[in-house]
Amino acid sequence: SQTIHQWPATLVQPVGSPLSLECTVEGTSNPNLYWYRQAAGRGLQLLFYSVGIGQISSEVPQNLSASRPQDRQFILSSKKLLLSDSGFYLCAWSRRERDTQYFGPGTRLTVL
């Protein structure tokens, strides 16, 4: 069966510091991978998705970036965090486009 991991689970960072969130999927190959952000009390916003290694599509212009160095690894980064980057970050995978997306446990990021 497939499992998706995210770490860290919780992160508190000062404004201006860098960020690296990691997501890995097990039990499948060549998944589509997604990063979402959920601001407090709000819905999910798609940030990035990837259909393969090195292939990243950005949905929202921001100071965040994503990379996919390996088939089942998806990384969300920032060089300098802003207060507005605080939120709950969810990684998801699907077998292909428009398929059901399965979500990881999420990372709660607080920028102070």
Partner 1 sequence: AQKVTQAQTEISVVEKEDVTLDCVYETRDTTYYLFWYKQPPSGELVFLIRRNSFDEQNEISGRYSWNFQKSTSSFNFTITASQVVDSAVYFCALTPYNNNDMRFGAGTRLTVKP
Residues that bind partner 1 (CB under 8 A): 32, 34, 42-44, 46, 49, 51, 57, 59, 88, 90, 92, 94, 97-98, 100-106, 108
Decide whether 15 or 60 has the Cβ nearer to partner 1. Answer: 60
* CB of residue 41 to partner 1, shortest distance in Å: 8
> Token pair of 24, please?
């890995």
62 CB neighbour count, 10 Å cutoff: 15
Q: Helices marked H in 1-112 — which ranges?
A: none
CA pair distance 94, 28, nearest whole angstrom = 10
* CB of residue 64 to partner 1, shortest distance in Å: 18
